[in-house]
Each structure stands twice: as structure tokens, then as C-alpha cells.
Structure 1
Amino acid sequence: MCRLPAPYQDLQLTFNVTSNNVTCTARGGFPKSKVRWSAFNTSSDEEVDLPGAGTSHQEDPTLKTFNVSSSVVAPLRELENVTCRIRNPLTEDMTEITRKVPGKVPGSAPYQDLQLTFNEASNNVTCTARGGFPKSEVRWSAFNTSSDEEVDLPGAGTSHQEDPTLKTFNVSSSVVAPLRELENVTCRIRNPLTGDTTEITGKVPGSDEGLGLDTKWVIVVAVLAGLTRLAIIAAFYFYKKFPGIRRRLINPCVSASTNTVSSPPVEGDAPASNMSGGNSSPPVEGDAPAGEDETALLNSDKKNTQEADKLAENNETPSTSAGDLTQGPSGGNRSDGNVKLGKTGALYHKVCTNADDDEARQKEEISADKVTELESTVGI
């Protein structure tokens, strides 16, 4: 059975400016058609063929006709319009459709497929895009967590590479940024002819997993301040909890355990903590001064200090007698014949023994008063 040819109809032309792709469709033709592409080039000011088209036919099972679809990649930035021609090989009839490139600004094409990559080791960020014309302008910015505002990132290096077929450009731009201070980074690619801007924003890897260096220093300072406060509280607690220690701080001549005047330091003797000969009992918690309060001890200490200062000014060395000295913790008799007190030891001996003598005199006066009172009572 002989089949009559049928013309193609309902031609349509669609553009994808992003991918520089143009598609032509038609239906109801017979036999399979031949498709030819052409366009008017603004650079050469002439019509040129567009090679490399891909064409396919699909048969309608009922009408036994064909639907055709053909696509071609074209340098749209250089073209003013595109034409699709569909020819019937039997009749040589030709149907065509011409469309102006949409949104066409002569000599321009938008950049696409933006990508952002981070190199944390070198604090480097790279932005890439392709398929644009002319060469783009790239601007970098970022959100700074310290200042809580968006800031520009200067010093970027940008390069363009031309696609030999499409005559468009691929762009690559890199910048060094203080990533530890940033939350995210934005790359903006601007077409200088149209003013159109395409941008991409990426979150800095690990920006929400750790603390910045400044924040860590704040934490360190806060911890140190807390420890210092605890140390002060602990010192105050022990000062109030153990009065024996407090008394020794007020007057070093007073024993922490017996509240008596200590012996003077002698060259060669054991440390002051052992001057009781190992017989002194440890401080008892809650002890209080025997017969005198802290005010009296402060007054006594002031008096002893004044006497020591006076002796030091006159460069005097107080005399010592064998009766004033007792056996030292290191053994031996601390007498005039075998012990030599240095200037510091002599001052200490003078001050502390004077305190001892004052206390002894006070006890003797009290005893004498009690004897007199007893004699008066019994009528002696």
C-alpha cells in the first residue's frame, strides 16, 4: 500500500539559556524528516549553520505519522535569533520556525553551576562557575561570629578560561579567610554587561562543633577566677576554724597549742615548728586564748615589735643569761658559754622573753594578791 506524504505541523522552539540548548519539535509528518539548524550571528553579522544537532522520531501508532524532536547546543550569547527547518525528503517541502533568543543582551551569557569548596588546613575557599560571558566580577563576603555582621573578604585571586566551542568562560576564584571566626562564606559572580548577579553561600565546616580561640580564653579566665575565689574562701575558713593558727599569725611568740611564749631561735636548732622539743600537743579545734583575747595579743605584739625596732635602730644586742635559755630541741645546753645568738635571734629572744617575763610578773602579782586576801580572811 502506497502512503502519501504528510507535512509536519505545530512547530515549537524552546530555549534553555542556562545550558545554551535549543529544542525544536513538530508532529504529524510523514516520512521521517530532515532537520537543519541556523542562526544569525551578531559578531559576524550573518546567518550561520548550527552543527551537531541530535534528532529523534516517534511514530504515532494510530495515525502512522511521526513526531520529531531535535536539539542543538549553540553559543546563545553571540546569537540574535535561531531558526529550525524541517524538510520532507519525499516532497522537498520545508517548514521552519525562527525565534529571538529570550532575554538576549548582545554579547552576554549568565554564569551557572556555582560551587564552593573549603580547605580548612590552609584557610582557603574556592568558588567556580561556568558558561558565562563576558568575564565576570567576583565578590567575597562572610558572616563573622565575633562582630556578628557580614564582612567583605579582600585579596581574592580570580581567573577565567574560555571554552573553545561555546566561546563562554569558566571562572575560578579563591580567597584566604579566617575560617575559625566565620559561620558561612558567600561568593557572588556578577555579569558586568547585564548587572545580573549569581551567588552561592556555604557553611564553614565544623563552625558549630567547636569554640573559637577567643571563647576558649574567656573560659580559661573564668575558671581561674573561680579557683581564686575558692582559694580565698578556703583560707578564710581555716583561719576561722583553727584559732591556734590565727593566734600564731597575730603573735609569733605565742604557741599554737599552749598559748605560751615560744623560745627564741638559736643558730643550729631545729625549725621553729619543733622548738617545743616534740612534747607540744597538736592544735585542738575550737581552742581559744587562755586569759586574753585577740585584742590583747595584738597590743602585745605591737609592743614587742616597737622594742625590736628600737634595738635594731641602736644596733644593740640584748644580753642573755643561762637562766633565760633552756635546752634546745637539737640537744645541748643553750647557755652564754656555748650558744651565740645572731642579731635576728637576739631581737627575737629579747621580744619573746620580755613577753614571757611580763606574763610571769602578772602571774606573781595575782598570786601575791590572793595570798594577801587569804591572810585577811583567816585573820593572820
Structure 2
Amino acid sequence: MSSTILLIVLLSAHITGLISEQLLKATVGGSVLFPCSLPGYPPTFYWQDGERNVLFHWKDGDEIKEPNKYKNRSEIFRSEFSSGNFSFRLDNISPEDNNTTFFAYVKLDKQKLSEERCRSRLQVSAPYQHLVLTVNHTTNSATCSARGGYPAAQVSWKGLNRSSDEQQDLQDAETSPQEDPTEKTFSFTSSVNVTGLKSVTCIVYNRHSHESITETKKIPGLISEQLLRAAVGGSVLIPCSLPGNPLRFYWQEDQSPYLLCHWDGGKTLPGCDKYNGRFQVFTSEFSSGNISIRLDNISPEDDKKTFFAYVKFDEQIQSERRCESTLQVSAPYQDLVLTVNHTTNSAACRARGGYPAAQVSWKGLNRSSDEEQDLQDAETSLQQDPTEKTFSFTSSVNITGLKSVTCIVYNPHSHETVKRTVEIDTAAGENKKINVAAIAVPFVLVILVGAVLFYLWYKRQPQDPDLPNQSPIELHPQDRAQAEDQDQSRAPDPPSEPPIEYDPHDGAEGEDADAAETAQDPVQEEAADAPGETASLTGTPVGIRHRTKLSEDAAASPEKENLLK
């Protein structure tokens, strides 16, 4: 149903000519096609612009000549009329064609009025050329210029701050556009203040073509005023070039009494012990005004230190402070490791030995959309070595729903970036869960089967309330007869019957009869051999057998007899 409706909409748009209504973009000096597709060959049609200037006019198959301001610039394709194609091409586009609207008037039926079809509007652009950016150190300003563009340019500026190394928008720019009276294209000149900047960028944006062109210029500071980058463990040259050979000078650390070196009247005086063995001067260059020094074995503690030279050219003039430089120390992060924990659905990134503290960020590739996204929920902890003063860090982030994850480590002093990317294998996490289940399930089954077997074995053991832990004792027939006699002698007489005298011979004969009867019954003989069932077949309680055994032992030993009593 939905596909049918879409087909009807497209056919309707084609029939009414709406499919050709559009904004057409063209470049100055180029060409553009104005499309128009109709359902058939109309008896009458003509093209005109918004000011009613007619380009083409056909009636009953014949062209009607009319004044045409676009003559020699426009072309229509007569061979395509039979198929309903009434498009035309406009050549040699100029800025004056910008925002011009063209449309066709069509009479599909002689009995009906003409209808407006195939409306299109033209948007013209021209790229800016010869972009030039210059810096004037005298006025501390930068100037940007370009020409030949259309429409008027949108000019903006950005600058890199010398002290913070942060890029910033420059808002105080002054821009003046000029239009060529003949070509109708534009040129411009724009200027901005660059005080305190390390570099400056001019950005020119064309709002019709949506294209931007840029130009960047580094702004060299005075040789005596600059930020010097140095690596931990390395060396840095602190430059100073003077207009002549000074009488005396010394290098000093700012806001401290420490002197690195002192030169007076051709002699080098000793400096402070703090920098002893760490700096180098070039005495052979002093006569040419070069009093630069080299500082060795850079450490994180040298970061943001400022050094300058006090110079005296004339005895009649006070010493001047020259050649101020500030150190910016950095150390690259090493041993960057990125790991993925499928159990916690997290990734962890760590590195060490860097300076200053790292700026850690994360990016992830979404598993469903394949789009890269910034991960904002990372947790990063920094640790500084108390001796080396370098940093290490550990950072972790959730990776649920990601195909890959990237850890990005940025050094704000060296502007270097190191990164690691790892693919996230979801099958590994699932296999780990399956392996745990594969180990746990058989283990639990073994425990359950063992418990059942132990229970069945325990149920088959004889249960004696008097001696729960003692095995049954097999008695000789004569001993069993004596035990029965003793039990009968202890048992109270029945209240309704007179006492019966016991004859030992009767007990023995009874025992012999029982033994004979038991020997004749194979079932009872087999049962008697089974452990734990002897007491039930003989008919004698276990407690009686136990006492009989004690009596027998007592007869053999007086000590046992005393214990029995």
C-alpha cells in the first residue's frame, strides 16, 4: 500500500512539473541546466525569467522570435521535445544572474489557460583567489586580503595564545569589502591585532558554495622574548643576540637570586652551585654580541622557569634586562597499554613517564551504527613520581555497545598525541561465560550425585539406638543361650502366669534345634552371611548379644568381671 502511494506521488510530481522546482547552484563563468519534464508535447509553451524576459517561445510546433536578453547564452534541445523534455542550458553565468528565477508557461490543451511549470532559482558563487596573510611586527597586527569572489566574503580570525597554547576567536577584526563595478565580484581587506599570539589564522567563508579557505602565519617573537620548548633529559639553547659586545652581563633565573653565569671585562666569573655543570656559554661568540647559553639535563622542575640576561653596554648607562625566555618542559608518555575486560564491559588505558599531566580522552565505534563517538564517562587517575616528577595515569571507560575503543593521550606542552585502538570481541565475553558454566555445572552435578550415593549407603546401614557406632557381634549358639537365660532371669514375671523354671538342657536343645533349622533354610543362611543382618535372623537383640560378650570376657579376666559389675 505504501509503495503504491509513493508511486502515485512521484507520478503526480512528474506530471505537474514539481519535480523540476529547485535551487540551482552555478559558478561564475560556468553553465547550468534548467530542467523541465512534461507529460507530452504541449501546443504552446515558453520560458521566461522573473522579469518576464522571454527566452524561448513555441506555438503549434513553430518558434516565435522575440527579443531575448539571453541570446547567445541559452540553448534549448528541440530533438527532446517529442519526449516531453523542454529543459534549457544557460551559459557564461555572471554574478548578475544570482537569485534570478526562470519558469515555463505551458498550455497543454487549447481549451485551457497556460500553466506555470518548472520553476527554478539560480544561486551564483565565485571562489576567492590570491589569499594573502601578512604580519606587521611594528603595529602588532595581521592583514588578510583576497579578490575575485562572489558573494561578499565572511571573514573570521583565530589565534594561538603564546602563553596558554590555546586557540581563541579574535573578535576585534576590521573587514572592508569592495565590489568590482564591471565584474561584480568582490575583494576584501581584513586586519586584526596579534599581541600575545604565537600564530594567527585568516578564514574566508563563501556562504553560497559553503566553501572555506584559510591561511595561517606564525608570529615570531623577539629573540629575547619567547617560549622555549625542552624535553626532559635533553638540552635547550636560550638565545640572546645583542647589537654589540657588552661590557658585562650575567644570566639569572627570574624571581630568584641564582646566577647561571657572570661575564665581566672579558672574564667569566663563577655562577651558583644550583646550575653548576648544567649550562654552557660560548665565549668565542661574545664579541659578535651572541651571549646565548645552553642549559643541559632538563628536568620537570625547570618547567615554567624564566631566564634573562642583565646587560651593561656603557658605564654611564644602567644595566638593561634583555633576552627573556621561559621554558616549557615536556616528556613523552611511554608504554601505553590498552586492555579490555569482558566481564565488567570496560576498557582500561595506562601509560607512564610523561610530563606534564596527560589529557586523556576516549573514542568508541558504535556497534550498531558504525559511528565514532566521544566517550564522556571515563575515570582517569594521575600519579606523580615523587623523585622524577613525571606522571603516570590509569583511565577506564564503559564499552557497552561498542565495536572498538580508542584511548587518546595528548601532551599539552609538546602537542603530541599517542593513541591505542583495540577491537572488542563480543564472542570472547560470551565464551568466557560459557566456559564458567561448563566448569560449574559438572562440578555441581558431581556434588549432587555424591550426596545421593552417600544417603543411599547410609540408609542401608543398621540403626541401633543403644550403640549407634558399634558393629554387631556374632555370638556362638551356646553364648546366645546363656544370654537368653540371663535376660529371662532379669525380666519380671508376667502378672497372670506362675513362674517357669528354666532348664539349661532345654535351652541347649532349643539352640540345637534352631541351628539345625537355620542350616536347612538356604535363604536364612544367605541372610546370615550378609553384614548387618545377623541380629535380625537370630532373633536376639543386639543389646543382649553385647552383654553376653562382656560376660564371656569377664569370665576370662577378673578385671573385666569387676568392670562388668
Same fold (TM over 0.5): no
Which structure exhibits the higher relative contact order, with contacts defined as CA atoms closer than 8 Å and separated by 6 or more residues? Answer: 1
State TM-score, norm by structure 2: 0.24
State TM-score, norm by structure 1: 0.33
